[in-house]
Amino acid sequence: PIQVELRGLTPDMVLQPEGAQRILRDVDDLSALHNVSYHLLAGSVSPHKKFLTVGLASVRRPRGYYLPATLQSLFKQSTEEELQEMVVVVHLADADPIWNMHVATNIARKFAHHILLGRLLLIHAPHEFYPTLEGLKRNYNDPEERVRFRSKQNVDYAFLLAFAANLSSYYLMIEDDVWCAKSFLTAIRKALASHEGSYWATLEFSKLGYIGKLYRSSDLPRLARFLLLFYQEMPCDWLLVHFRLLLTQKDVIRFKPSLFQHMGLYSSFQGTVNRLEDDEFQADALDLPDNPPAAFFTSMSVFENYEPLKAYSTAEGYFWGKDPAAGSVFSIVFQQPARVTRVRVRTGSNERRGDFLHAGVLELGRRRRAGSWDCSAYTTVGTFEKGTFEQRGLERGMPGPVECVRIRVTQDQSEWLIIQSIDIWTVAGT
């Protein structure tokens, strides 16, 4: 694996301002992240590796305090079985040790059950391990205070990631002011299954900042070192985008609906009002589609890079086809036959209200033709109403597993066609 190696870099390769030599030396000392002595404020590390670590950092806010509500949501929205596969790690990262201990005592009392069962850990990385937060570069003309805040936040997360690297198979990054969807862990497991065998560096379960970003735990050491190396350059969410691109994942892979919602009204920086909300949040994650691995085909001309994959829920954006005519098709061909129980298709968009499917049907296909993007036998299961199709109980009308799902246009239309999302639910068995 690629490692960000700090030793041997000359200061001018990374930093320009006065004091760069000192900053680089500080970061160089941090390159051996395993030498950081964490204070374990509450909880004990399980000897067994879990499926998922949920990590968040928390500091004193000038206004608002959301950490207990966030932890309550994480635990309340999970079943007992899900909780057994999960550990929550909170990095209490305030510079004031009295505040950290006060919060740790408060949280340990409120969530004693989860701490005793090894499901909640409260940690602190001592201030002496931090690189300097004075005299930093003022990129983007940010005020000095803002630069110090976001630079420290990068280091807070770096220490958290390094601590969590061996706790589980996957790591989920959230903030200390979020609501969680019911059974979000099961939804994440489902999403991972849908991407089995395909390459990814980051899966996203919210459109906001660094809420709901999923990583393989094996990537955490280098992500931690990456945040440390560039800690003063830009905000953490920007660095996470660069990290994804460096790991050669070009496109955002974001699952909809979102599993996490921002609850805080006040920012942790200077207590400013922050009304960020994810309009794609859905409180019940068990209703997420399965969307089995598939290939795509359309007879319509594709506009720019709005390719068919983008309609299949996980890729950012949507499909946009030119000149749909009677007989035009959009086909999904499964890698493996599947028992389809429910299909939901949404077409059109708020910006292009006319670009919906004016007349069309949804068909399920069997007996895939060898070397073809098609099946030889189709059953029409319903028609589109005002650009939308949704039907359940589809397995009752099919004699066996489905290999193709096809949208067929039944009438010429002058407007182009946007397919916003295609959601498919399946059941096990053949």
Q: Which residue has the higher pLDDT, 301 or 353?
A: 301
pLDDT at residue 26, rounded to an integer: 47
Q: Could you report the per-residue pLDDT of 252-266, keeping only the tens digit for each? A: 888 877 899 887 554
Q: Which whole number is the average pLDDT over 290-303?
A: 90
Q: Could you report the per-residue pLDDT of 276-285, keeping only the tens digit for each? A: 665 665 666 5
End-to-end CA distance of the chain: 40
**Are 86 and 185 within 8 A, CB to CB?**
yes
Inform me whether the pLDDT recorded for 84 exceeds 70.
yes
> CA–CA separation, 261 vs 207, rounded Å?
9
Inform me whether the pLDDT recorded for 16 exceeds 60.
no
The label of the residue with tokens 């068909």 reads: 363
**pLDDT exceeding 70 applies to what percent of the chain?**
83
At 122, phi and psi to the nearest 5?
Answer: -115, 125
Q: Which whole number is the average pLDDT over 45-66?
A: 89
The average confidence (pLDDT) of the chain is 83
Exposed, middle or buried: residue 428 (CB in 10 Å: 0-12, 13-18, 19+)?
A: exposed
pLDDT at residue 319, rounded to an integer: 93
DSSP type of residue 198: S
> CA–CA separation, 329 vs 352, rounded Å?
21
pLDDT at residue 131, rounded to an integer: 81
Buried b / exposed e along 109-140 (16+ C-beta atoms within 10 A): eebeebbeebbbbbbbbeeebbbebebbbeee
Q: Which whole number is the average pLDDT over 74-87?
A: 95
Q: Which whole number is the average pLDDT over 19-48?
A: 65
Q: Are strands 178-180 and 260-262 parallel, antiparallel or unpaired?
A: antiparallel
Residue ranges of E strands in 38-127: 39-42, 50-58, 86-92, 120-124
Residues 6+ apart with CB under 8 A from 303: 320, 321, 322, 416
pLDDT at residue 367, rounded to an integer: 87
Six token digits for residue 251 = 């496109």
Helix axes 236-246, 220-229, angle to 10 degrees: 120
147: closest CA among 136, 162, 159? 136
What is the pTM for the complete model shown? 0.68
CA distances from 215 to 21, 31, 37, 250 (A): 32, 21, 24, 15
179: closest CA among 75, 51, 80, 74? 74
Q: According to the per-residue pLDDT averaged within each range, which of 151-155, 170-174, 221-225, 351-355 is highest?
A: 170-174
Q: Which whole number is the average pLDDT over 83-102?
A: 94
CA 135 to chain centre: 34
Q: Could you report the per-residue pLDDT of 102-120, keeping only the tens digit for each? A: 999 999 999 999 999 999 9
Q: Could you report the per-residue pLDDT of 388-411, keeping only the tens digit for each? A: 999 999 988 888 899 999 999 999
Tell me how crowded residue 316 is: count the other CB atoms within 10 A of its CB: 12
Q: Which whole number is the average pLDDT over 74-88?
A: 95
At 189, phi and psi to the nearest 5?
Answer: -60, -40
CA distances from 269 to 69, 273, 304 (A): 19, 10, 40
Least confident of 164-173, 263-272, 273-282: 263-272
> CA–CA separation, 203 vs 194, rounded Å?
12
Amino acid at 289: P
pLDDT at residue 266, rounded to an integer: 45
Q: Could you report the per-residue pLDDT of 113-159, keeping only the tens digit for each? A: 999 999 999 999 988 888 877 776 776 677 777 887 888 999 999 99
pLDDT at residue 171, rounded to an integer: 98
**Are 27 and 229 within 8 A, CB to CB?**
yes
